[in-house]
Amino acid sequence: MPSLKSWNTLGVECEADVLHEAHQLDDLKQAFQEGGRDLLLLGAGSNVVLPRRYAGHVCALRIRGFECEEVGGASAVVTAMAGESWHAVVRRTLGSGWCGLENLALIPGTVGAAPLQNIGAYGVELADRMKSVLVYDARDETVSELGIEECAFTYRSSRFKEMPDPAIVILGVRLLVSRAALIVDQYPDVRRELTRLGTQGRASARAVAEAVMRVRRRKLPDPRRIGNVGSFFKNPVVSQTKAAELLSCEHLVAHAGVGGCKLSAAQLIDLCGWKGSRRAGVGVWQRQPLVLVNLGGAHGADFLDMAARIRRSVEERFGVTLELEPRIVEPLE
Ligand SMILES: Cc1cc2nc3c(=O)[nH]c(=O)nc-3n(C[C@H](O)[C@H](O)[C@H](O)COP(=O)(O)OP(=O)(O)OC[C@H]3O[C@@H](n4cnc5c(N)ncnc54)[C@H](O)[C@@H]3O)c2cc1C
């Protein structure tokens, strides 16, 4: 039985019935024919919590392709296929002088999974640069292009995450990039790095990417060395009334937005005293308590147990429910 331990960045053991690798559309069709509706799609496995045993077929998306088509001199449409590394796409576009993806540098994973949770970092999310998503429907074996409105992107979510359809595969994305840099540098960490780089106030897109990468390398554990899936929790969005109630008795970070007030999950977890905690092979990362790490030998269930304890304590102290960010794969048994 194939082991998926090296196929997920948490580094948890998971045995599946069959593992397919789709390098082209025909491989994907074949995987669906053999695996049926329970086919589990995997990119780089950097946002999944796998069970010990997955009694079904798994298909790793490896369909490659990258194209950058200039539109009228000042902008371009980048078409990247599902199996490309997201960071490689960011590097390639920046390397050719196209701006727009710099804040999303160094996010692990593949292009195909990026729309699922509308990846975002340091003030920019995928939806801000998205033109369309190419999808394959295994029911009638057709490929179509969905416009941005059809993808229903929201904070770390989309229709692909909210209404998962096992027959739909994201085959690629079309992104809009431009020659002129629209610098997004409101995050204090990024601004500090830009100052260190000596470019603050006249930063280029490449400088922003460099600053973002430095911040990420400092704060986040490298999944090649310490198993993790980045943030295990989303930042909670609460009503203005709830935020006002909390802010009247606690010094909390809060950003008012369209759907309510966004709180910092890291701060709530930290205030509950979890930073640096360890249990059953799972640790809460000292430099960023949103991140749970595999200290060695932990299973998916150990991560879920630690996450449940953290959620409970945040709920008890603040009356705020934290949502999990990665996909929790059910065992199918
Ligand atoms: C150190 C670290 C830092 C991170 N930082 C960030 C960050 O700043 N911002 C952020 O948003 N995320 C972040 N993440 C999370 C992760 O990088 C992203 O969610 C990424 O898009 C996941 O890509 P993947 O290929 O690894 O997806 P996987 O983990 O392989 O899959 C994730 C989900 O997508 C589905 N899926 C995969 N490919 C396809 C496809 N082609 N079609 C349909 N469904 C598919 C899978 O079935 C699964 O449900 C971080 C993770 C790590 C480890």
Distance 114 CA to ligand 1 centre (A): 6
Residue 256: band (very low, low, confident or very high) from pLDDT cuts 50, 70, 90: confident
Task: Report whether pLDDT(333) > 70.
Answer: no
193 has catalytic annotation = no
Q: Is 124 in the pocket of ligand 1 (CB under 6 A)?
A: no
pLDDT in the model for residue 257: 80
CA-proximal residue: ligand 1, atom 22 (nearest): 109
204 has catalytic annotation = no
148 with 115, same domain: the answer is yes
Q: Which of 17, 33, 61 is the last residue of a domain?
A: 61
Number of the ligand 1 atom closest to the C-alpha atom of 48: 29
How do residues 116-157 score in pLDDT, each as one tens digit?
Answer: 999 999 999 999 999 999 999 999 999 999 999 999 999 999
The number of domains in the chain is: 3
Tell me the CATH number at 195: 3.30.465.10
Residue 123 lies in a domain: yes
Query: Could you list the residue range(s) of the whole structural domain that residue 247 is in?
Result: 237-328
325 has catalytic annotation = yes
Q: Is 9 in the pocket of ligand 1 (CB under 6 A)?
A: yes
**Probe residue for ligand 1, chosen from 19, 46, 126, 231 as the CB with the greatest number of ligand atoms within 8 Å:** 46
**Whether the Cβ atoms of residue 44 and residue 109 lie closer than 8 Å to each other:** yes
Catalytic residue selected from 156, 174, 214, 311: 156
pLDDT in the model for residue 162: 95
pTM for the whole structure? 0.95
How do residues 33-81 score in pLDDT, each as one tens digit?
Answer: 999 989 999 999 999 999 999 999 999 999 999 999 999 889 999 999 9
153 with 175, same domain: the answer is yes
Distance 213 CA to ligand 1 centre (A): 18
Q: How far is CA 97 from the centre of its chain?
A: 25
Tell me the CATH number at 53: 3.30.43.10
Q: Which of 15, 35, 61 is the last residue of a domain?
A: 61
Residue 230 lies in a domain: no
Residue 204 lies in a domain: yes
196 with 98, same domain: the answer is yes
Residue 138 lies in a domain: yes
Tell me the CATH number at 298: 3.90.78.10
84 with 46, same domain: the answer is no
Q: Is 117 in the pocket of ligand 1 (CB under 6 A)?
A: yes
